[in-house]
Structure formats: C-alpha cells, structure tokens
C-alpha cells in the first residue's frame, strides 16, 4: 500500500488577521448564528446576527437583525454589504443563480425567506405569503414560537429541506418540538404555497441515557439523507 503525505498550506499565517466582524464585549452586543456560502467567481458570503442586552430588537424585545458580508478575494478582505431587520437565526445558501436567506424574522418569529440577485447587497422583503413570509409565528412569546439555527439545507429528491423547532411551551429546551419544511426545487421559493411543513415531534425524555440529566430536548436540528436513500433524517 502506498501512503502519501499531503501538506496543506494555510491560507493565512494568522486567521485573526482576516476577521469578518467584531463586537467588543463591553458593548453588550454579541455576534451569533454565523453562516457562510460560496458564490460564483470566487466570492464568499457570510452572515451573522446579534444577541445580548443591547442588541437590536423588535417591539417585543426580541433580537431581529442580521448582517451580510462579502469577500471577492477568497476571504482576504471583507465588506459589509447589507443589514437586514426582521431576519434571525438564518441560513445563507446559493441556488439557481440567486442567494437566499432562510430563517426566522426574530427570536421566536415568523419563518421567512429572502432572495438577493446582487450577492447580498439588496434583498426581497417578506411582506406577505407571496413575497417570503412562509409560516406566521405568534407575537412575542405567543405560540407558535419558531426557532432554528443557521443549519445547512438539504437538496434531495428534487426538494429543498430544512429543520426548525417550535418552542410550544416557552420552556428551554424541553418545550421544543422539531419539524421540517420543504419545497419542490422547481417552485418559487418566496411563495408560502410552495412549502409544506411536517408534523411536529415532541421530545421523549424517557429515551434519554441517565447521563443526559434533567434538561434535554430538541435543538437546532439538521436534515440529512438516510443511508438507504429512501428517507430523510432530522437530528
């Protein structure tokens, strides 16, 4: 057997020389939910949202703001190209010549999707069910309390799949019910009629191992194709 050693040269000597974004701790505004996707012509798009005591919030006091950054030189330099209100916990993905942002409108908000045709500089606005408002959430902490993370999407059997949760009892994390939304890839992803939602599965603590302790539940689930090719799995 021939064994070959491969040396991988790091792109940067010091990764901290190429920071996308930074917020000092004393600001009490913290960066969360990082997302990244490759674009044509060696461009890279990155997203993050804000949390913390002084983070931007909606009228219910829920964090609700995301920023998009773009690099045109393989990550050597970055430029903030947009700030989006009513976007949170969102996934960036590039599909059919457009950049999409799929997540919630705020902490425990609506499920919304946006599209950009200029690499994240401008975005569609999810005003209604024909423009990206896919599933309406409750006001503030009123159910449904949609929750997610910038988890990957799955393109499988001509459909786009993504995991979400609904915190039905407003209790973390045992109150989360997990579910999946999906759309046919040939349909308009901004129309709510293109998407379907699965049943919501409650967490069953009786199946936990003893070392899990008392506070366990569904959180930030991903969808992957099953090894048999016939099923999708969320975990």
pLDDT in tens, 177-234: 999 999 999 999 999 999 999 999 998 888 888 777 677 888 898 998 888 766 655 5
| Distance in angstroms (rounded) separating the CA atoms of residues 235 and 84 | 29
Mean pLDDT of the 160-178 span: 91
A 10 A CB-CB count for 206 gives 5
pLDDT over threshold 50, residue 143: yes
pLDDT band at 2 (very low <50, low <70, confident <90, very high): very low
Mean pLDDT of the 6-14 span: 59
Would you state the pLDDT for residue 148?
A: 96
Q: Which range among 94-98, 125-129, 143-147, 228-232 shows the weakest confidence by mean pLDDT?
A: 228-232
Mean pLDDT of the 99-104 span: 98
pLDDT band at 151 (very low <50, low <70, confident <90, very high): very high
Would you state the pLDDT for residue 16?
A: 67
Would you state the pLDDT for residue 82?
A: 98
pLDDT band at 109 (very low <50, low <70, confident <90, very high): very high
Burial code (b: 16+ CB inside 10 Å, e: under 16) for 138-170 equals bebeeebbbbbbbbebbebeebbbbbbbbbeee
Would you state the pLDDT for residue 105?
A: 98
Mean pLDDT of the 28-55 span: 96
pLDDT over threshold 80, residue 12: no
Query: What does pLDDT average to over the chain?
Result: 90
What does pTM read for this prediction?
Answer: 0.90
Q: What is the percent of the chain with per-residue pLDDT over 90, rounded to a whole number?
A: 72
Q: Which range among 82-86, 138-142, 224-228 shows the weakest confidence by mean pLDDT?
A: 224-228
pLDDT over threshold 60, residue 74: yes
More confident residue, 7 or 57: 57
Angstrom distances, CA of residue 221 to CA of 17, 63, 174, 233:
32, 21, 14, 10
Structure tokens at 11: 């792109």
């Amino acid at each position: 057997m021939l064994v070959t050693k491969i040396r991988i040269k790091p792109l940067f000597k010091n990764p901290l020389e190429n920071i996308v974004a930074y917020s000092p701790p004393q600001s009490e505004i913290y960066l969360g939910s990082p997302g990244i996707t490759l674009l044509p012509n060696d461009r890279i798009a990155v997203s993050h949202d804000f949390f913390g005591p002084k983070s931007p919030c909606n009228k219910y006091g829920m964090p609700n703001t995301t920023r998009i950054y773009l690099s045109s030189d393989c990550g050597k330099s970055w430029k903030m190209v947009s700030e989006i209100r009513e976007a949170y916990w969102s996934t960036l993905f590039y599909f059919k010549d457009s950049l999409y942002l799929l997540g919630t409108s705020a902490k425990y908000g609506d499920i919304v999707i946006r599209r950009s045709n200029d690499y994240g500089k401008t975005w569609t606005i999810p005003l209604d069910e024909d423009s990206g408002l896919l599933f309406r959430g409750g006001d503030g902490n009123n159910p449904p309390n949609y929750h997610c993370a910038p988890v990957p999407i799955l393109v499988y059997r001509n459909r786009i799949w993504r995991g979400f949760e609904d915190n039905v009892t407003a209790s973390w994390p045992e109150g989360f019910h997990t579910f999946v939304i999906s759309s046919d890839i040939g349909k308009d992803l901004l129309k709510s009629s293109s998407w379907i939602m699965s049943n919501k599965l409650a967490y069953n603590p009786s199946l936990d191992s003893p070392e899990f302790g008392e506070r366990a539940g569904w959180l930030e689930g991903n969808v992957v194709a099953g090894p048999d090719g016939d099923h999708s799995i969320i975990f």
